[in-house]
Amino acid sequence: MQPQASEKVGIAKEKLGVFISTYGCQMNVNDTERMFTLLEMSNYVPVTSPEQASLIIINSCSVREKPVHKVHSEVGRYRKLKAVNKSLKIGVTGCVAQQEKKKLMDDMDLIDFVVGTDAIDELPQIVARLRESDEKQIDAKFRHQEAYQVDTLVRNPGVSTFVNITKGCDNFCTFCVVPFTRGRERSRKYSELVDDVKRLVDRGVKEVYLLGQNVNSYQSECGVNFAHLLKGIALETDIERIRYTTSHPKDFNQELVDIMQEYREKICEYIHLPVQSGNSEVLERMNRGYTREEYIEK
């Protein structure tokens, strides 16, 4: 069920500008759209430059090189703005926020709030508490639900819209921080996903892009796997095109290929299947769960 800002504390008394700077993957792009939508419900208006904003959010990424340095560098660029505009609030969300938590605020006095990857829906309330008390705010706790309910929130959906189907990851590749910044893997309920796509179709969306750290390990509470989720969306909704990313080679199987072939009028013939390395020994050290030969065979 979609959050209703009018039912919660957090609505600004007058319209205020919000600027969000986004780093990283499609999940972060989708999270930024969700934050914009939630804040619009609370009387904030998206603006195109930091100079227009009363609220600046850096939606950060931990995967790219020197992630914390990038956050510090961007926040530092706003020092003059904050000196001129005393009511300007600056926050950090995303994977760096989840990873660094309070240390971000300890290291940089310009940061007013830190919101982790599981606390996005609390953002309007966090900002409201900040403005009311002027006390710095932090929420970087993981919510350890087995399944999670996050209807897709978009302001003005276009032809294509991202739809999260899973969150987090259980693979623990040795080079990857995602399980520690997005949490353990959780899948959305099958029926909620189908209803979500139906609502998007009613709003004019032609294509959905299913998202997850590893979409093909999707497993609903009623036992529906990723291949049958694709089949269900193709059969039960009027969506015209379905895409997905990212797939893990160890979970890619013939059943998925067969369903993509059977429903190819809707499921796009596009596969994102990262190889990571062509050396089996390296793949083993990376804890990828497959060999070079197994990847080639698939």
Query: What pLDDT sits at residue 45?
Result: 96
The two tokens of residue 92 are 């950090």
* pTM tops 0.85: yes
Query: What pLDDT sits at residue 235?
Result: 98
The two tokens of residue 95 are 């994977």
CATH topology of domain 160-297: Transcription Regulator spoIIAA (3.30.750)
Where are the chain's structural domains?
5-139, 160-297
The residue among 45, 132, 44, 35 whose CA lies nearest residue 92 is 35
CB count within 10 Å of CB 274 equals 12
Query: What pLDDT sits at residue 145?
Result: 65
List of residues 6+ apart from 180 with CB closer than 8 A: 98, 99
Query: What pLDDT sits at residue 148?
Result: 58
DSSP for 71-85?
Answer: HHHHHHHTHHHHHH-
Query: What pLDDT sits at residue 263?
Result: 98
What DSSP designation does 174 have? T
Query: What pLDDT sits at residue 10?
Result: 59
**Distance between CA atoms of residues 52 and 55, nearest Å:** 9
**Which stretches of the chain score pLDDT less than 70?**
1-13, 145-149
What DSSP designation does 161 have? E
CATH topology of domain 5-139: Rossmann fold (3.40.50)
The two tokens of residue 105 are 């605020």
Query: What pLDDT sits at residue 216?
Result: 94
